[in-house]
Amino acid sequence: MNKLATTIGLAAAGLFAGMAQAADEVTIQLKWVTQAQFAGYYVAQDQGFYEEEDLDVTIKPGGPDIAPAQVIAGGGADVIVDWMPSALASREKGLGLVNIAQPFKSSGMMLTCRKDTGVEGPEDFKGKTLGVWFFGNEYPFLSWMSQLGIPTEGGDDGVTVLKQGFNVDPLLQGQAACISTMTYNEYWQVIDAGLTPDDLIVFKYEDQGVATLEDGLYVLEENLEDEEFKDKMVRFVRASMKGWKWAEENPDEAAMIVLDNDATGAQTEEHQKRMMGEVAKLTAGSNGALDPEDFERTVESLLSGGSAPVITEHPGEAAWTHEITDEALD
C-alpha cells in the first residue's frame, strides 16, 4: 500500500511539475497568407527563439477575407499584424487597439499602372478604374485620393474603385488601369506574368508623401492591464525581433523556412527569396520600437483627407506604447 501511494505521489508530482513548466500560449493573427512578409515570426518559431522565451506560439495565416482587427475583437488572437491606418480606424470605431511594436520601418505599398492606359502621373487617375485592397488596406489609398481631391465614386472627374482580390488579373486583363501592389510581392507577380518594367509606371506611397506605417504588432488595450499578459508580450516581441534580424541577415534561409510553413504549396522558392530580399529593406533600421515621428506622420496623412478623412481626431499617445519594447529590447 505504501509503495502504491508513493508511486501515485511521484506521478502526481511529475504531472504538476509538467504543468508548471508548460509554455505560455500566444496566438498571432497575420495580415496575409504565409509568405516572407512575416518571415520574422516563422524564423523565431523555427529557430527556437519562442521556445527560449517559454512561449508556445500559434501563427495564424490571413487572407483576402480576413480582417485581423475582427479576429482579435472576437477573441481569436492575442496579438495581430496590422497596418496602422486600419488599426487607428478600428480604434476610432471603439476597438481599443494599441501598437506595442513596429518591426516595419518603411512602407512597401505602391500603385502599379500600365502605361498604355495613358497614366503618366496622379492627375491621370481621373476617369480610370483602380484596383484597391479592402479589409483595412483601403485606408492609405482613400487618404491619398482625398488629398488629391479625386472622388472615389467614379465619373470623369473621379476614379472607379475595383475591389481587388488575391491576384493581379485586373491589370493583366485590362479591367483596371492601376492596381495595388507591394514592392515585395504583387509587383513581381506582374513582371512574372510577362509585363516588363518599361510597360509600367509605379507610384510608391513613400514617394507621394502619403506612406503610412505597415505591419505593426497590436493588442487590445484592456489586456495591457494584465501583468501576466504584458510579460508574455515582452517575451514575444523580444523573440520576434530576434527572428526578424536573423531573417535580414539570412534572407535565403529565412525564405526556405517560410516555404516549409506554407501549407497551401502556393509559394515558390524564387518568389519567396526575392520577397525576403525586398522585405528586409523595409524592416532594416527598426529595432522593434515605434518611432513617434513615424506615428505622427501616419496620423497627419490619415487626418488630411479633406471631407472624407480616414480618422477624424488625433488618437493621442494612448494608441501606442513603448512599455513592451522598452523591456523587451533592454
Per-residue pLDDT tens over the stretch 201-259: 999 998 998 889 999 999 999 999 999 999 999 999 999 999 999 999 999 999 999 99
Please determine, for residue 147, whether its predicted confidence score (pLDDT) is greater than 90: no
Domain 109-204 is of which CATH architecture? Answer: 3-Layer(aba) Sandwich (3.40)
Q: How far is CA 330 from the centre of its chain?
A: 24
**How far, in Å, CA of 78 to CA of 94, rounded?**
18
Question: Mean pLDDT over residues 4-8, rounded?
Answer: 50
Please determine, for residue 136, whether its predicted confidence score (pLDDT) is greater than 70: no
**pLDDT at residue 1, rounded to an integer:** 46
Q: Is 131 exposed, middle or buried (0-12, 13-18, 19+ CB in 10 A)?
A: buried
Count of residues in the chain: 330
For cell 508530482, the residue is: 13
Question: Mean pLDDT over residues 76-104, rounded?
Answer: 96
Q: For residue 265, how many other CB atoms are within 10 A of its CB? A: 7
Question: Mean pLDDT over residues 85-108, rounded?
Answer: 96
Per-residue pLDDT tens over the stretch 264-294: 998 999 999 999 999 999 999 899 999 999 9
Per-residue pLDDT tens over the stretch 160-189: 999 998 789 999 999 999 999 999 999 999
DSSP label of 107:
-
CATH for 24-105+213-328, among 3.10.20.30, 1.10.3720.10, 3.30.70.600, 3.40.190.10?
3.40.190.10
Establish whether domains 24-105+213-328 and 109-204 are of one fold: yes
